[in-house]
Amino acid sequence: MIDTHAHLNFENFSSDYSEVIKRSLENNVRLIINVGTNLVTSQKAVDLAEENESCRATVGCHPLEIEEGNFDLEQYRNLIIENQNKVKAVGEIGLDYYYSQKEKVQQKEILIRQISLAQEFKLPLILHCRGDKEKPFEAYQELLEILKKDSFSGIKGVAHCFGANWSLAKKFLDLGFLISFTGIVTFKNAGDQLLEVVKKVPLDKFLLETDSPYLAPAPYRGQRNEPSYIPLIAQRIADLKEVSLEEVSKVTTLSAQKLFNLS
């Protein structure tokens, strides 16, 4: 299996990432894509990919990192140019209105610039999207409007840690994007909307991810998450879709290889 979205490049793993990678391999997780959220973590993702054959990297600026002054398009471009064999996507990028809507215009501007960067290097996107409590789907709708622009026709990617309903999921699928699911699907209080998406999304249109160190699946909920827990997520999805674990493993791996151009 492939963990298509982890953050071993975060401080949470600074002292034991080698052991975490070893446990992942022992649990049939053969490849880990470490996702950048700013320049520092993007560089660290690249460093991990250079150091470990079982790791790949993405580079990008998370919408909540923008106001911290971490966005410099040229530095992200240089990271890609210098590490094209290791950098497999631009992300995670997107819109996040959960904590504040003050930076909405700036978030959209920088998102558009990063989508153009992905186009320049023919890389897929890893999209982050989160609305506020009053309008939880507004950010998804606005993100879809951006992706529908004629200038972005043909761009591919994945809506990571998907948290909207089936209607919105289908719109992403119609644009050629994939959906990815985290340990949330194993929670006892996982919403009916999300479980409906899991059941309805075609088997070849979703990916597996942990979003480590966050969102550890049951029975590890509340603890630090890690890529070795991917089989727990895959098994829950297999149960919901009434297919075998082997089928989920095989198809999601092929989908990840195709999207991220993995050998």
Q: What is the pLDDT of residues 5-28, one digit of tens each?
A: 999 999 999 999 999 999 999 999
Which of 94, 96, 154, 158 is closest to 126 using CA atoms? 158
Task: From 125, 255, 233, select the one nearest 184 (Cα to Cα).
Answer: 233
Mean pLDDT across the stretch 173-193?
Answer: 97
Confidence bin at 99 (pLDDT 50/70/90): confident
Q: For residue 124, give Cα distances in angstroms to 5, 152, 176.
A: 13, 12, 11
Is the domain covering 2-259 a CATH 3.20.20.140 domain? yes
Q: Name the 3-class secondary structure at 248.
A: helix
Ramachandran class of 64: left when φ > 0, alpha when ψ lies in -120 to 50, beta otherwise = alpha
pLDDT at residue 69, as a whole number: 62
To the nearest 10°, the Cα dihedral for 201, 160, 230, 236?
-30
Q: How confident is the model at residue 70 (pLDDT cuts 50, 70, 90)?
A: low
- Let me know how long the chain is: 263
pTM higher than 0.85, yes or no?
yes
Four-point Cα dihedral 243, 249, 252, 253, nearest 10: -160
Residue environment code for 10-25, b if the CB has 16+ CB neighbours within 10 A, otherwise e = bebbeeebeebbeebe
Burial of 102 (0-12, 13-18, 19+ CB in 10 A): exposed
The mean pLDDT of the chain is: 96
pLDDT digits (tens, 9 = 90+) for 207-222: 999 999 999 999 999 9
- The band of 242, judged by pLDDT with boundaries at 50, 70 and 90, is very high
pLDDT in tens, 152-176: 999 999 999 999 999 999 999 999 9
Q: Does the bond joining 219 to the residue before it have cis omega, within 30 degrees of 0?
A: yes
When pLDDT is averaged across residues 42-50 and rounded to a whole number, the result is: 98
Structure tokens at 20: 């975490």
Average pLDDT over residues 195-200: 98
